[in-house]
Every structure is written in C-alpha cells, then in structure tokens.
Amino acid sequence: MALLERQIPKIASSRHTALITGESGTGKSRLARNIHDLGPRKSSPFISLSCAALPRDLLESELFGHERGAFSGAVRQKPGRVELAHRGTLFLDEVGDMPPDLQPKLLTFLQDRRFYRLGGRELLEVDVRLIAATNRDLAGMVRDGTFREDLFFRLNVLPARFPPLRERPDEIPVLALAFLNAALAEFGGAKEVALSHDALDLLLRHPWPGNIRELENAMFRAATLVEEGSEIGPELIAPGLFDDQQTTANDPPARDDAPILTLAEVEKRELSRALERHNGHKPSVAAALGISEKSVYNMMRRHGLKSL
C-alpha cells in the first residue's frame, strides 16, 4: 500500500493509460477517481462505464455512441462515453469482461484516440485519458486466449495493484469509523454510541473477503441496529460473523472488563497512526482510506492533530 501511495501522484500527473487491478470491493473505482482528481484533468469530466454491466451491442453503443438508424430503436444520434469524456478521463471498470469481438475496436481507439460511432462514417477524434480496472487476471486470460495480448499491453502502461483489505489491517479501524460516522449522520447524529474492545478486535481479525464494500455494509448495519447510548459489540458488526470467530484454545480468555473505546478515541488514535505512517501526506492518507482530503483535515481539526 505504501508503494501504491507513492505511485499515485506520479500516475495522476501522467497522460498515459493506467490499469488498476484488485479484488472486488477494494475500492478501485474510488482510486480511479482520486487519480483523476489529483491530475491536470481534474476540472474536466470523469466518465465511467462498467464493461460487465451491459451486453455486447449495448456496450459498444455506450462506449462509442451511435448514429440515427444504426440499429432498431436508434431514433437519434447519441454520443458515447468516449466523446463525453473529451479533455477528461474515461474510466472503464471491469475491462476484463469486455467481449472478445469488441476488444479490437478498443485497441484501435487506444492507438490514436480516433473512432467511429456505431453506424457512422465520420472519423472522430478525442483527447481522453484512460483508466481501466479489473478484478481478473488479465495476464492469465492472455495465456488462455480470452483476452488480446496487444490490448493488455496497451492497457498495462501504468499498473497499480490495489491490495485487499486483509493486507492492510492498520487502515481497518479508520475506515470502519469513517463508515460508521457516515451511517450515524443519516440519523442526524442523534445516536451516541461506543465501539467495544471486542468489536474492534473482530474488525481486525476478520479476513473481509468482500473488502471495503463488506466493511462499509457491516458498519451501516451496526449503526442501524445499535440502541441509543449503547456500545457496538461483535454481534452487531455482522450476524453470524462473531460465531465463526469464537476464541480457540490458544486465544486468551475473554475479559469482561475490557475497556470500551468511544468512536472519538479510536478515530483520533488511528488517524494519528495513519498520519505518522504516511509522514503527514494528506493526499496519500485520503487515497489510502478512501475518504476525501477535506475529511482528513476535518478529522485532524476535530481532534487537535497537527501536521507532521
């Protein structure tokens, strides 16, 4: 993660294609947006398209647009995402799911940033920076013949691997508290709750196969179910999760007098650790935690933390 954080500003300042890889739910879309916001195109459009969300014909039309009469139902000309992203950033999510017969057209576009709308005869040109993301092993797909090798090389100019949450446990408490505070804000900040020691321990021990998305859902569930003035225990983090992680013979016995940490105490402690780890570099802290740089400053101000 530290290597990725050092690379983010350099990737953001470049005009070349970036490829973000990582498991589902790690925050690849958020990282793509951070790269855009840190780069010279930050005031221009950020346009995204998921290659896994649409069938082949609709995907081509959404990507490159179409002319009137190009197919049944095409009653008017429609610009594609590449046109809408002119002078900005085009983010292709789950690019590994792009149909094989559409891959050559994307390759051609990447070579010179020129394309034809579906059913069109006019060659169009745009100024677009491309960021792609995938949770699939593109190199393995190339070996299997399900993904074009030349397209892979065109995409993999600036690779950025987003590690899963289980590989960066130090960030789990800060992320959990950010999600919890956001969820509590939906209740108007009316709930005054605390995070128990056992709940924090569970957050750190759980492997989080669903990564950040799973953690966010768990904290929203806890914020919804917790009673006013109560503490959040392991049973509120996720039903059944605590049962799967009961203490083993090698674990120390549970302590009934374990201290209960308030959200403010945990937030301050973990934010301090994050700032120290990243030498006080706010954009890196924000990108790593999946929150805005403004939120980092607000948290620092709230807890009286000074820049390193």
- Answer whether 71's CB lies under 8 Å from 122's CB: no
**In this prediction, what percent of the chain has a pLDDT beyond 70?**
86
**In this prediction, what percent of the chain has a pLDDT beyond 90?**
43
Higher pLDDT, 287 or 147: 147
What is the per-residue pLDDT for 253?
38
* Domain formed by 166-303, architecture: Orthogonal Bundle (1.10)
CATH T-level topology, domain 2-163: Rossmann fold (3.40.50)
3 — pLDDT class (breaks 50, 70, 90): confident
Q: 57-66, 138-147, 160-169, 243-252: lowest mean pLDDT where?
A: 243-252
**Scanning the structure block, which residue is given the tokens 């935690």?**
289
Report the DSSP beta bridge partners of residue 65: 79
Query: Could you tell me the residue ranges of all domains in the chain?
Result: 2-163, 166-303
What is the per-residue pLDDT for 297?
79
Please, how many CA atoms are within 13 Å of residue 215, restricted to the half-sphere of its CB? 33
pLDDT, tens only, 198-246: 888 888 888 888 899 899 999 998 888 888 777 888 888 865 554 444 4
Specify the pairing of strand 65-66 against strand 129-134: unpaired
pLDDT, tens only, 251-267: 443 444 445 556 666 66
